Amino acid sequence: MKPALQLKLGQQLTLTPQLRQAIRLLQLSTIELEAEITTALEENPLLEMSEDAPDDAPVDSQAADGVAVASPAENGADAEAGAEPDGESAAADDSPLDIDPSWDEDFSDFSDFTSTRNNNSGSGEDFIAERASSAETEDLIDHLLWQLNLTPMSPRDRAIGVALVEAIAEDGYLRETVEEVQSCLRPEVEAECDEIEAVLHRIQRFDPVGVGARCLSECLLVQLSCLDPGTEGLALSRTLAQSHLEALAKLGPERLARELDCTPEQMAHAVQLLRSLDPKPGAQVSGEPVEYIAPDAFALRQNGAWRVALAPGSRPRLGINRHYESLIARAGKGDAAYLRGHLQEARWLIKSLETRADTLLRVAEAIVRRQSGFLDHGPEAMRPLTLREVADELSLHESTISRVTTRKYLHTPRGTFEFKHFFSSSLSTTDGGTASSTAIQAMLKRLIEQEDPRRPLSDARLAAELKQSGITVARRTVAKYREAMNIPASNERQRLG
């Protein structure tokens, strides 16, 4: 064997830097896009915010299929194949809406989605702001340890308290037994179970009240013990929380009131008091960062048709700094090359942002055209829709639609939804048509809400009810949809009172 030269002819697809940038910007959310633009403005002297650039594309008065849409440029760039992650949508009201057709707005009211942070000169305000900022990121354990360190107690009790706090789960419940905590303290601390119980009793009064409880009954009892003794229905609430929670869920308030020999009014006050308590106190303190949703597009009904427009943040107003651009001709060789490089990057970014906005608008228009029934009548009118159908309509690649619909949100009179919420699989109906899985779930939810609590509908009965409506689904499919909506089975929904 010896080294040799060989000629080989072949073809391969190469992504240019401009195309890579367009693909990356396409899949960014609105908040991520704002951060990207802020970074670009700081690093590129040729970029500046342009005050005279329009916030959105001009609106055309023509309507297609009952939808009046903004007329974008027809140059949305296609992208290569990519992943298609699942998204979650925001919940909305299922009731029909009486939408005002005269709602004629220029979308200027929706321009303020970002907040600015004011710098306070006072030390007290600085401390409050610093504490509030740290509270946004601290988890439940940190929150409890902070209170534990401020509580006067002996070093021995503090060590026991640290072991207890570290054993508390995210929902606020103590999942380990006192004996397990006792073994974790050894050999440094030899504590009796009574000592651990005493420290735990103090921790359960920390904020949020009820944290460290070992069951729902104990959690509610701790919260009830912190209320004013003269609270109406407090005694009966304690009795219910201590011994009758399962009976209350199974029998209902009216029948349980008869068994406990109390009036319906007394039972109603006690149940109302229990409902005011927090069954998962740990959920009040979360270490996960808060994700804010900023709509990328708006769908509003105007003159009997649905109109779509981009949010101002989806079409950033960027321009070229003419002063630095004019310096290229007069600068030296090194400086001119530096400025020309940044000028090219600025032009690429502006072009990529325009392409992103146009593609986003075209996809939003296509979704509103296909799902106008949902906007008019609710989830039960949702039509089956796939990424490929929208891709074929817009002459784009399916992966491009996937990127556009991920973490992009459409604001409607029914709520703010992720674009992916409007895409769902289809099931055949008896008349030869199709129904979307989202519509079927909405129908199941309506049937369950209207059922007799004493005789709830089983999955087989729900499937039979859907069949009478022309939709044939298997019982296991009904069970899958029911579980996806976090609805318990029929035997758990039964109420005898």
Does the residue 118 lie in any domain? no
Contacts (Cβ under 8 Å, ≥6 apart) of 299: 306, 307, 308, 364, 368, 375, 410, 411, 412, 413
109 alpha carbon, distance to own chain's centre: 23
| Residues 299/412, Cβ–Cβ less than 8 Å | yes
> Are 235 and 306 within one domain?
no
434 in the same domain as 484: yes
Residue 428 has φ and ψ, to the nearest 5°, of -75, 145
Is residue 366 classed exposed, middle or buried when 0-12, 13-18 and 19+ CB atoms within 10 A define those classes? buried
Nearest to 141 by CA among 118, 116, 168: 168
């005002």: which residue's tokens? 100
**Contact in structure between 356 and 26 (CB atoms under 8 Å):** yes
Decide which of 377, 406, 433 is a domain's last residue.
Answer: 377
Structure tokens at 305: 């048709």
Residue 384 neighbours by CB under 8 Å, 6+ apart = 424, 425, 426, 434, 435, 436, 437
Quote the distance between the C-alpha of residue 48 and its chain's center.
33
Same domain? For 437 and 452 the reply is yes
Q: Any residues with CB less than 8 A from the CB of 5 and at least 6 apart, and which? A: none
Q: Are 220 and 280 in contact (CB under 8 A)?
A: no
Query: Does residue 318 form part of some domain?
Result: yes
How far is residue 367's CA from residue 69's CA, in Å, rounded to a whole number?
11
Taking alpha carbons only, the member of 3, 23, 7 closest to residue 15 is: 23
According to DSSP, the β-strands at 297-302 and 409-412 are parallel
Same domain for 102 and 173, yes or no, is no
Do 267 and 156 contact (CB within 8 A), yes or no? no
Residue 77 shares a structural domain with residue 39: yes
Tell me, what CATH number does 484's domain have? 1.10.10.60
Position 368 in a domain: yes
Beta bridge partners of residue 417, listed in sequence order:
410
Residues 103 and 34 in one domain: yes
Tell me which residue of 63, 23, 76 sits closest to 368, measured CA to CA: 63
Minimal CA–CA distance to 281: which of 226, 204, 229?
204
Which residue, 154, 175, 203, sits at the end of a domain? 203
pLDDT, mean of each 10-residue run, the chain (497 residues): 82 76 87 89 89 46 40 38 38 40 40 38 40 56 92 92 91 90 87 91 93 93 92 92 88 87 90 92 74 86 90 85 87 87 91 92 94 90 90 92 91 92 78 76 89 86 86 87 88 70
Given 311, 346, 377, which residue is the final one in a domain? Answer: 377
CB hemisphere CA count around 343 (13 angstroms): 15
Long-range own/partner contacts, residues 452-455 (CB < 8 A, 24 or more apart): 453/252, 453/493, 453/494, 453/495, 454/494, 454/495, 454/496, 455/494
Tell whether 384 is covered by a domain. no
Q: Is residue 451 part of a domain?
A: yes
List all residues 6 or more positions away from 209 whose beta carbon is below 8 Å from its beta carbon: 222, 223, 226, 281
Do 103 and 21 share a structural domain?
yes
Cα separation, 494 vs 449, in Å, equals: 12
Number of domains in the chain: 4
How is residue 31 written in tokens? 């908040």
Overall pTM > 0.75: no
Pair (104, 31) in one structural domain: yes
Residue 8 pLDDT: 84
**Which of these, 366, 420, 388, 367, lies nearest to 85 by C-alpha position?**
420
In a domain, 271, yes or no: yes
Same domain, 280 and 295: no
Judge if 306 and 260 occupy the same domain. Answer: no
User: Is 173 a domain residue?
Assistant: yes
Tokens of 495: 């109420």
Q: Is 195 among the domain residues?
A: yes
Q: How many CB atoms lie within 10 A of CB 385?
A: 20
Cβ 382 vs Cβ 424: under 8 Å: yes
Which residues span the domain enclosing 468? Answer: 425-493
Which residues does residue 173 pair with via DSSP β-bridges, in sequence order?
213
